A and B are shown apart, each in its own frame.
Chain A
Amino acid sequence: MVNLELLSLLEATGTTIYMVFVSALVGISAGLFLGIILFLTGHDQVLENKSIHNVLNLTVNIGRSIPFIILLICLIPVTRLIVGTSIGTNAALLPLIVTTIPFFARITASAFSEVSHGLIETSEAFGASTWQLVQRVLIPESLSSLIRGATLTIIGLVGCSAMAGAVGGGGLGELAINYGYERFNTLVILETVIAITLLVQLIQYIGDRLARHCNLKWVGASIAGIASICLLSQVYAYLPSYTHVLRVGVINGEDVSLLKVVQKLAKEKYGLEIKVIGFDDYVQPNVALSNGSIDANIFQHVPFLNAQIKSHGYHITPVAKTFVYPFGFYSNKIHKLSELKRGDMVAIPNDPSNEGRALLLLSDNHLITLKPGSSLFATPSDIAENPYDLQFKELNVAQIARSLNDVAIGGLTNDYTKPAGFKVSDAVVKESPDSPYANVVAVRSADVHRSDIKKLISAIHSKQYLQATEKAFPNGAAIAAFVPIQL
């Protein structure tokens, strides 16, 4: 269970503020524009145009009638096209903006229709152009309503941004759902609800003040203020560690609880404060490490890290091995490798990383020889010698678990042993502690010599952590590989 601290609450609040206000700035501007056109093309107005007005009117009504969660999902392909990804805070911005535009367009049009027709006639009589009518009469005269509408819109966006958790948008809503609701942690829900309430109160207070003493200068100042808050909320994420707390990222689940042991030991023995931060996917921990949101992560093996470095250009260095979660070959037919016969069928995973891992394990056990210079992503075509004439069948790992009756041996990752009815200790052959697939402690390359990192490594390479892990991963499911990596 995650111990929610003030820091992650603040971070989530920052993300929410960023999502809400960026989408508000863009959405309200666009909505204002659309609303102006909607109003001006209306009946008896200066740009009266029935067909344009009707089309806009229909568009706005349709836009307003789509529930946000549906819009969020419908927009995924568009988001991917524009933002490049459909996951994350920036991907959540697009649907938030799209939902804001028709809402604020309607608010604008109805605020304008409150302006007396006499005033519109007056400005026309004084020779105002259409744009001057908007700028000098409609907007100033309805400013108060527009501000109240904008306040309403922004508060609505706070609610929508909570749903943005559905696309990994982050923020308070996601915190409440992922760490509170999903993990039955009432405290987290309560804390986030309080944070959201405070945020809404603040927005309403500022909105009311502005609406009462409105003039364009104040509105301009507030927009500038909001823009800088958005920037600050993002800069905050890039600030280097500002406390003596060492922030360590792991994947949510078993690892979070296991790290408590390290946390306790580090504090008692080395006086080092560690904060454990849980992630839900395998990409963010390196992103966070790279941008300084965390100081170390423990979730990946070196081949994975290298691939990430290659594609993202991270300056991340592994400093110590932790455990090997061994890949192994399992069989319903034989118990030892020596029982393999010529021409036997061997199932290996078909994904690049695990296929290479499987072939490397066979090669280490002298069943095949790989061509010199073969990478960790070898395929059967990289086999130089196959003295036993083994027949390789490339399958999805989950499929291998079900197909063991049809092959002599099949390679499985740790996760699939249990569904296939095996303990890791049942493996015909499995990786040893010196496997290159050992998980590692990774840090920013500049930090490798930091003393707190060394203390962290010592706390990880401890008897306490070993025992706790072996208890959680019994029967050899986790093999300690407690060696520092020589730099």
Chain B
Amino acid sequence: MIEFIKLNKSYHNKNKTFNALSDINFKINQGEIFGILGQSGAGKSTLLRCINLLVRPTSGHVLINGCNITELDRKSLQAKRQKIGIIFQHFNLLESQTAFENIALPLKLQNKTKVDINQRVNSLLELVDLSDKKEALPKALSGGQKQRVAIARALASEPEILLCDEATSALDPESTQNVLALLKKINQALGITITLITHELEVVKSLCDRVALLHEGQLIECSDTFSLFSDPKHSVTKNLVNQAFVAAAQQHEIKSSKHFTVRLTFVGKDSDLPLISQLIKQFNLTVNILCADITKVQGKTIGYTLCEFLGSEEQISQSLSFIQSTSIKLEILNHG
């Protein structure tokens, strides 16, 4: 569907060259919800904008359904863009126009007839559940409602791809859930490929089928969402996943702890195993639970536990061997 090949983007400012994207290669499949995750400044926005060429890459190609869009002329690019919807963090609605007129914008750009526009916009208003706000100006709408108008606008010209640029970052938790549910509905009902960028793990966790992780302009990890959470490979990813469950301050404390500290990730066939009580009974180990959490990713459960093992070296090494024989993942954070 969307393929990035050796994509580079650099900015020249006076005598300095800044590489926003370096050698990006990956694919986004038809019909999936794909998340691009990264800290601010990681190059997410730039990468997203390379899909509709709002940002033109310095080198490399972007293929959409096999068509290399970097080689299109102005007119063809404009036509191609009409098949790629986009929503933004700050909505970017025309402040002077009503919800109806905002949604009608892409259709007007394509010189559709009034009748067609009326019909299409009304059905979109229904889809995003805003039929009663048809004549409202953006300033009279809440953040969540504005984003729903923006989604309806992005869908107006029946796109194959929907790009979401931090679509929920400016919203309260309730509106965020609302918008995420709507995106999911759109993906399932209309089969639209959704590519979103976010720095929020929650968004990725509840919505994305697959995730790419960007760090300082480089793609450091690309996997399905469950693997990312259950089995992060790159240290940056680990850190990120960690952060989602343990406050940063607490992590710092763990590192300076005098005790042997581990993180256990309960995944796979043994995720239901009463591991802690078994360690206590079988190896006579004292276990001090610092923090525990359970989450669902793509319908599957993942449990996290941070704990200190207090006991003799032998007790501890036996315990570790036992854990390694299960599907539960072990990570030693501090050797004591």
Residues of A within 8 A of B (CB): 116, 118-119, 121-129, 132, 136-137, 140-141, 143-144, 214-215
Contacts and interface: CB of A to CB of B under 8 A. Distances in A.
A118 B96 contact: no
Given A140-B96, A144-B96, A122 B86 contact: yes
A125 B86 contact: yes
24 contacts: A118-B90, A119-B94, A121-B54, A121-B92, A122-B88, A123-B105, A125-B86, A126-B81, A126-B82, A126-B109, A126-B157, A127-B77, A127-B78, A127-B79, A127-B81, A127-B82, A127-B109, A127-B110, A136-B105, A136-B109, A141-B94, A141-B95, A141-B96, A143-B96
Nearest to B87: A122
B86 A128 contact: no
Given A122-B86, A140-B97, A128 B92 contact: no
Contacts of A136: 105, 108-109
B109 A132 contact: yes
Nearest to A137: B94
Nearest to B77: A127
A132 to B, nearest CB: 5
Contacts of A127: 77-82, 106, 109-110
A143 B96 CA distance: 8
A108 B60 CA distance: 39
Interface in B156-171: 157
Contact of B78 (A129, A214, A215): A129
Most buried by B among A118, A123, A127, A140: A127
A144 B86 CA distance: 27
A125 B52 contact: yes
B289 to A, nearest CB: 47
B109 A123 contact: yes
Contacts, number: 56
B92 A119 contact: yes
Contact of A140 (B90, B94, B106): B94
A-side binding surface: helix, strand, loop or mixed?
helix
A215 B88 CA distance: 26
Given A119-B94, A140-B96, A140-B97, A124 B109 contact: no
Given A123-B109, A126-B106, A136-B105, A118 B82 contact: no
Interface in B114-144: none
Contacts of B109: 123, 126-129, 132, 136
Nearest to A118: B92
Interface string B22-54: 000000000000000000000000000000101
Contacts of B88: 118, 122
B93 to A, nearest CB: 8
Contact of A125 (B54, B95, B97, B108): B54
B50 to A, nearest CB: 12
A141 B97 CA distance: 8
Interface string B244-256: 0000000000000
B84 interface: yes
A101 to B, nearest CB: 26
A409 B188 CA distance: 112
Contacts of A215: 96
A140 B104 CA distance: 14
Nearest to A139: B96
Contacts of B82: 126-127
A128 B96 contact: no
Contacts of B90: 116, 118
A-B complex: 3 closest residue pairs judged by Cβ atoms: A127-B81, A127-B82, A127-B78
Contacts of B81: 124-127
B54 A124 contact: yes
Contacts of A132: 109
A399 to B, nearest CB: 71
Contacts of B86: 122, 125-126
Contacts of A121: 54, 92
Nearest to A119: B92
Most buried by A among B77, B80, B95: B95
Most buried by B among A126, A128, A132, A137: A126
Nearest to A130: B74
Nearest to B111: A132
Interface in B57-95: 77-82, 84, 86, 88, 90, 92, 94-95
Nearest to B90: A118
A338 to B, nearest CB: 92
B62 to A, nearest CB: 14
A140 B86 CA distance: 21
Nearest to A132: B109
Given A123-B105, A125-B81, A214-B96, 5 more contacts: A125-B84, A126-B106, A127-B81, A127-B110, A129-B78
Nearest to B91: A118
A249 B302 CA distance: 101
Contacts of B106: 126-127
A134 to B, nearest CB: 12
A132 B90 CA distance: 22
Most buried by A among B106, B110, B157: B106
Nearest to A124: B54
Contacts of A126: 81-82, 86, 105-106, 109, 157
A350 to B, nearest CB: 69
A116 B92 contact: yes
A35 B52 CA distance: 28
Contacts of B94: 119, 137, 140-141
A61 to B, nearest CB: 27
Nearest to A140: B96
Nearest to B156: A126
A124 to B, nearest CB: 6
Contacts of B96: 140-141, 143-144, 214-215
B64 to A, nearest CB: 14
Contacts of A116: 90, 92
B152 to A, nearest CB: 13
Contacts of B84: 125
